[in-house]
Structure 1
Amino acid sequence: MTPSPPTSPPPAVRRLTLADLDACVALAADCGWPPEHHKWRLLLAAGRGYGIDAAAGDGPAGGLIAAVVVTPYGREAASVGMMLVASRHQRRGLGERLLRTALERCATEAVFLTATDRGRPLYERLGFKPVGAVTTLRGAFAPAGGQAAGGVAVRAATAADLPGVLAYDLPAFGADRTPLLTRLPAFSDRFLVAERPGGGLAGYAARWPNAETAVAGPVLADDEAVARALITALAAGSDAPLRFDADDRHPRLAAWLRASGLAETARCTLMVLGAPGLPGDPARRFAPYSLALG
């Protein structure tokens, strides 16, 4: 009887660190994504990155061949983002192995993500269920209908506003994301709060630079009028095209953004594992921090 040839051990999954920043950006470029150094730096610092390296002798390319980032929010929830496999290694099960390992190490009640059409079959195999959709809009922003007021005063956030922002965010988002929000003043180039005439926070929003766009996110507000006022103020003073990830739960806001000069560039499915839907109050969540973070 001819002995079976020895089988190769499965590729090892390791934690990624900030030292892997350039490798992550290079892997993303191989998959056709833009060079998002600013976003990757935040993800690797605030989240838990996992990766697989090329085997010895894998040609001159070598290096990181698969990556994913899981960002936990206490024990209630976690987000999955930046699921990537190098083009020369796709359709070999690396993505599924990597994501299964990351999920096994994630001790939270629910996990959510935004899936492209290409990635959705993998997530469905792992038990994720669709619960909505997000449309990415981009363009030169000029507010339809003139300057939005929303019955609030919009101003730049200060250090004294951070406790109020954290208190506002917790019930709206449904989980504690203090580590991310405390990074927001340094990560963003515009951080705003909206106040009611009688006092009290009615919402907050930020804008941050990413490749060739200025990303609006997160945007949380009591209602759509406040969200419009925040978005209008966010867009001021930037020459870069505005990017906004619009949740289907707010179709009127998406219609206003289109009328204000933004056009659809992509569409993703919101998916959840371990819960019937997204945590928190979706009525007050108008834009995520980023698609990778929720």
Structure 2
Amino acid sequence: MTADPLSSPLLATLPPPRKLTPDDLTACLALGEDRGWSREEHKWRLLLTAGQGYGIDAPDRPGELIAAYVLTTYADAYACVSMVLVARRHARRGIGRHLMRHALDSSGTAALFLQATENGRPLYERMGFRPVGTTTMLTGPFSPPPYEATGAAARTSVRPASAADLRAVLALDAEVFGTDRTELLTRLPAFSDRFVVAEDPAGALTGFAARWPNGPTDVFGPVVAEDLATAQALVTELAVDARDRVRFDVDARHPEWERWLRAGGLSGDFRCTLMVHTAADIPGDISRRFAPYSVALG
């Protein structure tokens, strides 16, 4: 008979996860590598400053973590759970459930959402999360194919973002994302390699997009645009000096966008399930949200 992992001696003695700081970066990277993740140092630095990391110290290995996750809260209305990790030597002992209970308790009245792998989805379903969509990761060399722009999109121009654009970027994002992301977006100029905006002939902002480094890969996101052609114009500009390997995370509700990206050379079938807790869906307007900041952030 298999023992109930929730009654394991280790779990019975575990303390609540403690708050992590940027000083815990090395331990977070090591925990990720233990589970086969690449060293995403640049992303972890953002998550540990813009969000709140939580971790459980290894009782027998000072300076190491046996588990961790990050909770990023948006205006106390929604919160994203990400980077849920349990050390390989302590897997399948109920620690993942321990972390998620802590996340639910720590989020207060905020509705939680997350991107679940196939391995993690059963746990989240047992915790009350339900699926509302899927995201596919596309990677590879990318050469933007031609696209057709008509109407207002045909008169759109794309240029590098400046400090003067921040207020308009925040306003558009609040409308499209559905809640306030000021903490993250004000970090975008320093976090990204390139940050561009689209505007109509009158100078009104119609979209913005960024590209940031993640190891040997350039990640494109966020991409927020009034329509598909504007998103294509933004990404075409970002691709000009991108590295040979890029990554897009594409929501299944954007099939035309995915076809265009694949036509440019990207491929992949690794999917995550977007799941929410105590909400009908994530907020905002998916029709204008073409790429997340990161799947760890929404």
Describe the SS at the equivalent of 1:122: helix
Gaps of 5+ in 2: 1-8
| Residue number in structure 2 paired with 1:145 | 146
In 2, Cα distance between the equivalents of 1:79 and 1:236? 32
Could you tell me how far apart the structure 1 residues matched to 2:81 and 2:240 are? 31
Give the match for residue 77 of structure 2: 76
Greater Cα offset, 106-115 or 216-225: 106-115
Change (3 A) 1:255 1:17: same
Matched, 1:203 2:204: no
> Structure 1 CA distance, aligned partners of 2:91 and 2:160?
45
Report the alpha carbon displacement of residue 103 of structure 1 after superposing the two structures with TM. Answer: 1.8
Cα contact 2:217–2:243 (8 A) shared by 1: no
1:114-125 alignment, distance < 5 Å: 114-125=115-126
Aligned partner of 1:40: which letter? W
Residue type of the alignment partner of 1:22: T
Return the letter of the residue paired with 1:74.
A
Aligned partner of residue 236 in structure 1, secondary structure? helix
**Mapped pair 1:270 → 2:274:** yes
Aligned to 2:48: 44
Q: Cα offset for 1:9?
A: 2.5
| Aligned residue type for 2:82 | G
* Alignment check: 8 A CA contact 1:173 1:279 kept: yes
Which is richer in helix?
2
Instruction: Give the Cα–Cα distance (whole angstroms) in 2 for the partners of residues 199 and 237 of structure 1.
Output: 25
In the other structure, the counterpart of 2:259 is 255
Q: Secondary structure at the match of 2:241?
A: coil
The 2-side partners of 1:64 and 1:291 are apart by 23
1:162 aligned partner: 166
Aligned mates of 1:148, 1:64 — CA distance in 2: 50
Write the distance in 1 (CA, Å) between the matches of 2:238 and 2:136. 19
* 1:148/1:228 contact within 8 Å kept: no
Q: CA deviation at 1:93?
A: 0.6
| Letter in structure 2 aligned against 1:94 | I
Q: CA 1:147–1:159 in 2, change beyond 3 Å: closer, same or farther?
A: farther
Gaps of 5+ in 1: 1-5
Q: Using the TM superposition, give the Cα deviation of residue 240 of structure 1 relative to its aligned residue in structure 2, in angstroms.
A: 3.5
Q: CA deviation at 1:199?
A: 2.4
Q: 2-side partners of 1:90 and 1:182: how far apart?
A: 37
Rounded to whole Å, the distance in 2 between the matches of 1:218 and 1:148 is 21
Give the C-alpha shift of residue 16 in structure 1. 0.6
Contact (CA 8 Å) 1:74, 1:108: kept in 2 or not? no
Amino acid at match of 1:68: Y
Aligned to 2:241: 237
Rounded Cα–Cα distance in structure 2 between residues aligned with 1:250 and 1:206: 19
Residue matched to 1:174: 178
Find the partner of 2:188 among 173, 184, 204: 184
Answer whether contact 1:133 1:267 (CA < 8 A) is retained.
yes
Percentage identity across paired residues of the two chains? 58
**When the two structures are superposed, what TM-score results if normalisation uses the length of structure 1?**
0.93
The CA deviation string for residues 103-123 of structure 1, in whole angstroms up to 9 with x for no partner, is 201124311110000010111
Residue pair 1:138, 1:265 contacting (<8 A) in 2 also = no
CA distance in 1, matches of 2:72, 2:63: 27
Matched residue, 1:103: 104
Give the match's secondary structure for 1:136.
strand
8 Å Cα contact 2:148-2:229 kept in structure 1: no
Structure 2 match to 1:91: 92
Counterpart residue number, 1:3:
none
Distance 2:39 2:14 in 1: 30
Residue equivalent to 2:19 = 15
Offset at 1:62? 6.9
